Amino acid sequence: MTPRVILGIETSCDETAAAIVVDGKVIADRITRQILHEEFGGVVPELASRAHERLLMPAVQAVLGDAGLTPMDVNAVAVTSGPGLAGALLVGLAFAKGFARALEIPFIGVNHIEGHLWSASLGNTNLTPPFLALVISGGHTLLVEVEAFGKYHKLGTTRDDAIGELLDKAGRMIGFKFPAGASIDREALKATPSSLQFPRIRIPDEPHTFSFSGLKTAVLYHLRRNHRQLDTGAFDLTEQERGNICAGLMEAVADTLQLAIAPLLSSGKYTAFVVGGGVSASRFLRGRFQEMCEASGTPLIIPPFEHCTDNGAMIAYLGHLKFQAGALPSDADHGVNPSASLFAPAS
């Protein structure tokens, strides 16, 4: 029987998040982004683990309070067990195991990328496979054909930087705080079209494989050629120059994605185009995805903004979907897997 009340725990990176899902519907949801990493320009794993340790219990108490429930009302716990930072994952998994054990309820370790993939249907949109899914986050750029729940075929990924990673690194050069994706997105929307033409990198004979590190280098070379570097490492830019670079960067990212994805959508093979992960919060990219989908008559399904970046709701919801599909609870010795894949190992 599918547990009705599921507590979801997400601690794979720098968001400490918990949520309660009842019968597949989110009724409480708390996300704390650990801003302490800003000054380091990236996530410091050890500090992330310690912050999760401090923030997780209050987050769980808060969602229980918001939902008007006590721990005894929870029927199961779903927790991210990978991929992610090992120490950060451990905090969430250890908490989930302890909570489940104390209440004698099952827990299930779930895959973070799979959480992003299904987060688009959190709002109860009816997603019917086969559909095309794109997960774009700080750590992943993954194009997937979803044949059925749990049956995923990898169409393409990045050879180097994920899109979020590219935006965060480029953002640092431009002078934005970490994580920079939302700032770049905002500035790009104001300044598009850009006068700058950064490369749209394609891999010969691999139309769905991406590579974004060259784009980052192109931005760096542009900055070095035209602007003075400050002591902070960022470059000295006027607001207008910054906007122009952001727009040029987002146009290059959007075109690169469109070149790979538009032909797949036109094939008529898919019931929908589903996008998830932190970068799917980009208004710039959402606009472009919308155009692509309208051109091919494919419905576009993207989570609301609060469920694009890491959150506990997508984890609780994935737990719900897994139990519903007949998955068994995890064993007591279930461990974290920092490099967990969405795909079954080749047999």
Q: What are the residues binding ligand KG4 (CB under 6 A)?
A: 13, 137-139, 164, 167-168, 179-182, 185, 277-279, 281-282, 309-310
Residues 135-194 close enough to bind Zn ion by CB under 5 A: 137
What's the CA dihedral at 231, 235, 240, 243 to 10 degrees? Answer: -120
Segment near Zn ion (CB under 5 A); pick from 34-42, 243-251, 304-312, 320-328: 304-312
> Is there binding between residue 114 and Zn ion (CB under 5 A)?
no
Amino acid at 190: K
Residue number, 121 or 137, with CB nearest to Zn ion:
137
The region, left, alpha or beta by phi > 0 then psi within -120 to 50, assigned to residue 154 is beta
Least Å from the CB of residue 13 to Zn ion: 7
Kindly provide the b/e burial profile for residues 142-176, where b requires at least 16 CB atoms within 10 angstroms of the residue's own CB. bbbbbeebeebeebbbbeebbbbbbbbbbbbbbbb
Residue number, 53 or 185, with CB nearest to ligand KG4:
185
Least Å from the CB of residue 33 to ligand KG4: 9
Least Å from the CB of residue 260 to ligand KG4: 18
Residue number, 181 or 319, with CB nearest to ligand KG4:
181
Residue nearest to ligand KG4 (CB): 278
CA distance 289 to 265: 11
Q: How many CA atoms lie within 13 A of 24 on its CB side?
A: 15
Residue number, 43 or 74, with CB nearest to Zn ion:
43
Quickly tell me which residue has 């139309």 as its tokens. Answer: 207
Task: Please choose, from the candidates 83, 147, 150, the residue with its C-alpha nearest in 3D space to the C-alpha of residue 326.
Answer: 150
- Residue 281's binding partner, choosing from Zn ion, ligand KG4, none, with beta-carbon cut-off 5 to 8 A by kind? ligand KG4
Binding site for Zn ion (CB under 5 A): 137, 310
